[in-house]
Amino acid sequence: MSSTSDHPTRPTMRAVSPRAWGTPDVLVPVEVDRPEPGLTEILVKVHAAGVNPVDWKTRAAGAFGTWGDTPILGYDVSGTVEAVGPGVTLFAPGDEVFGMPRFPEQAGGYAEYVTAPARRFAPKPAAVDHVQAAALPLAALTAWQGLIETAGLRAGQRVLIHAAAGGVGHLAVQIAKAHGAYVIGTARADKHDFLRKLGADELIDYTTTDFAEAVRDVDVVLDGVGGEYGPRSLPVLRRGGHLVTLPDPGGLPDAARAEALGVHTGWTVVEPDRHGMLEIARLVEEGKLRAAIDKVLPLESAAEAHAYGERGRTQGKIVLQVV
């Protein structure tokens, strides 16, 4: 006969999980088993977790990713390496890291610990704290991959960034400026001072001005809105220009019309990317990139964070403070 001591209890951790798919109030605090790092993985003690629109869209619809018995949302994390699995050479316990591991599978960032492949993380920039670092990965990688890798943005080019004050948009403004571009942004008038401080050269209040009438000869459009914004952006682009659509491929303009205008169009989804994370960290260390933090809430207030984000008026990012 075995005793209880023959089967030691696994360590547990705090987390937040949806008890069903639906409104923000389905998110509740839970206690679950702490994960263990597998081959090439690290265990990260999460200090802060970023909150992104894909989080509340997932919570509402139950889409994106596979789930265990207790689903845990959250892609963006910043924290400290607690343990390393077999084969890990990049990091050691005590290292500070940040990243967007596993996307589009869930990283489970709304928790005290996450495990993921080591090469999905990068060293946290020493110039910022964990809250700042947790606000960066998904949104900054989206902007980096869309502007630099997909559109090939170069110094001296003109870029139009829709929803410029949002989570992706305000980071895209800074990344574009760091690469020597002339930046035009669409945003409500009360966001213009904020965006000017980030380096935006020209701003359009979309509530009073039709950007399609106000802008011409743009090399790149980064569309973080979707819907009609993609088709309406075609006339502002010069021949050979790039329209990069982020929210939904349904927002892409008619291919024949785009071809007739000589414009490249495409829908892109962010991917985990250590190279991109290292470039983002470099810009942070050089003082060229910083996330604006709209609101910081404790982990247990994830439901409040989602409700706040869904109002669509955030200026920058929402972050959950875990420890």
The model's pLDDT over 171-196, given as tens digits with 9 standing for 90+, comes to: 999 999 999 999 999 999 999 999 99
167 pLDDT tier (thresholds 50, 70, 90): very high
Q: What is the pLDDT of residue 163?
A: 95
225 pLDDT tier (thresholds 50, 70, 90): very high
248 pLDDT tier (thresholds 50, 70, 90): confident
Q: What is the pLDDT of residue 69?
A: 74
Q: What average pLDDT does the segment 58-78 reach?
A: 82
Q: What is the pLDDT of residue 281?
A: 98
Q: How far apart are CA 154 and CA 146, in angstroms?
A: 13
Q: What is the pLDDT of residue 2?
A: 43
Percent of the residues in the chain that have a pLDDT greater than 90, as a whole number: 85
Q: What average pLDDT does the segment 78-99 reach?
A: 98
204 pLDDT tier (thresholds 50, 70, 90): very high
- Residue 6, pLDDT above cutoff 70: no
Contacts of 311 (CB under 8 A, 6+ apart): none
Record the tokens describing residue 230, joined without a space: 């993609």
The model's pLDDT over 130-141, given as tens digits with 9 standing for 90+, comes to: 999 999 999 999
Domains of the chain: 12-138+272-321 (3.90.180.10), 151-267 (3.40.50.720)
Q: What is the pLDDT of residue 84?
A: 98
- Residue 322, pLDDT above cutoff 80: yes
236 pLDDT tier (thresholds 50, 70, 90): very high
Q: What is the pLDDT of residue 1?
A: 43
Instruction: Classify strands 317-321 and 293-298 as parallel, antiparallel or unpaired.
Output: parallel
Q: What is the pLDDT of residue 314?
A: 87
Mean pLDDT, the chain, rounded, equals: 93
Q: Are 279 and 257 in contact (CB under 8 A)?
A: no
Q: What average pLDDT does the segment 98-119 reach?
A: 95
Q: What average pLDDT does the segment 273-294 reach?
A: 97
- Residue 4, pLDDT above cutoff 90: no
Full DSSP string of 155-212? TT-EEEETTTTSHHHHHHHHHHHHTT-EEEEE--GGGHHHHHHHT-SEEE-TTTS-HH
Q: Are 289 and 178 in contact (CB under 8 A)?
A: yes
Q: How far apart are CA 268 and CA 276, in angstroms?
A: 15
264 pLDDT tier (thresholds 50, 70, 90): very high
Residue 158 forms beta bridges with which residues? 182
Tokens 């892609």, located at residue = 75
Of residues 5 and 13, more confidence is placed in: 13
* Rg of the chain in Å (alpha carbons): 21
